[in-house]
Structures are given as structure tokens and as C-alpha cells.
Amino acid sequence: MRSFLAVSLGGFFLLGGCQSHEKSQPDSHDRATLLTAARGVIQNSGKCAFITLDKNGHPQVRTMDAFEPEENFTVWLATNPNSRKVDQIKSDPHVTLYYSDKNENGYVSIYGMAELINDQTEKDNRWKEEWKNFYPDRQKNYLLIKVTPTRLEVINYNKGINGDSVTWQPAVVNFTN
């Protein structure tokens, strides 16, 4: 049986979960296992929630169609250069990506620094044909967001990565730049 709790961390609400058969000690998995488990959740999530902070420090969340993370878990997304998220990133580049497994088998939160990329070659290399109606002018209406991770949290019940049953702290991977 699985139960969920919404936890507020610094203004962000995250869903944490536990299973009744969890052990009371934190998971002790190696980095490679955690990253593989995170990729599994991300691949089964479809889309992600992209969270920025507005000028008052309030979280702003929207659903995004991100590219799959690169080997180092850098994530690329696309947006309209006139969207509010662009101004929010310019003001504060700290962002969060939240992926929830479609089958409720876990979640991944990627915390990182966002960078706006307007290089046409890079934009051409990171194009999805299904976006053509959203970005009719790929030179003017299409901007990339590159998220470089600083920390990743993962719960993947299928891989036995359940987090701590007392504190609900998920397994964590820290990235160094």
C-alpha cells in the first residue's frame, strides 16, 4: 500500500511517498543505480513540470515537453522568448524539473541552473517536428532552456529505491560543475 504527502520545501510543494513495507533506514544505492532508476522514471513520465520563481519568490509551475536528459543529466527544453518563464529565469536561474511516473512508481526532481540559449545551430539540433505549430518562425519564436543539474532526488519503487520510511527523504545524487 502506498501513501503520499505533500511537503513544502522552501515554497515548493513536492509529493513524497512511502510503502508500508519500507525499511526505516535510508536507501543506500550507488550513484549509477540511482541515475539509471531516475532515467526509468523520466522515460515513463511523458512530460515534466518546470518550476521557476516569480519576482515575489513564488513558484510558477507549467507542464513542459523536455528532451530526455543527457548523460550528465543536463536537460533541454524549448519556449517562446516572450513567455514569462524567460523573464523569471533572467531574474533567478534556479529551477526545478519534476517528473512523475505515469504508473505511480516514483518521481524525480532535478534542481539546477537554467540558461537561455538562442544559438540557431543549437536550436536546429534540438527541434521536435511536433512543435512546428507552436513555433511558426523558428528563428524568432523559438528559444532553448538548458538546465544544468546541481541535485537530483529519486524515488523508484520498481527498483527498490523507496526513500527513508521515517523522514520520507528520497535518494539524492549531487552534481558538481
Is 140 domain-assigned? yes
Structure confidence at residue 22 as a pLDDT band (50, 70, 90): very low
Instruction: Using the predicted structure, report yes or no on whether residue 153 has a pLDDT greater than 50.
Output: yes
Average pLDDT for 163-177: 90
Enclosing domain of residue 53: 31-160
Is 7 domain-assigned? no
Only one residue has cell 518546470, namely: 50
Q: Which of 102, 94, 112, 91 lies closest to 43 in space, CA to CA?
A: 102
Give the domain CATH number at 113: 2.30.110.10
Is 23 domain-assigned? no
| Lowest model confidence (mean pLDDT) among 113-117, 139-143, 165-169, 173-177 | 173-177
Count of domains for the chain: 1
pLDDT digits (tens, 9 = 90+) for 89-98: 999 999 999 9
Give the pLDDT of residue 177. Answer: 56
Is 19 domain-assigned? no
pLDDT digits (tens, 9 = 90+) for 55-64: 999 999 999 9
Strand partners, 144: 78, 117
Is 6 domain-assigned? no
0.85 surpassed by pTM = no
Is 120 domain-assigned? yes
Is 87 domain-assigned? yes
CB 71 within 8 A of CB 147: no
Give the pLDDT of residue 80. Answer: 95
Average pLDDT for 74-92: 97
Q: Which of 61, 65, 78, 42 lies closest to 152 in space, CA to CA?
A: 42
Structure confidence at residue 28 as a pLDDT band (50, 70, 90): confident
Give start and end residues of each alpha helix (H) in 4-103.
31-43, 84-91
Give the pLDDT of residue 76. Answer: 98
Q: Which of 101, 60, 64 lies closest to 84 in space, CA to CA?
A: 60
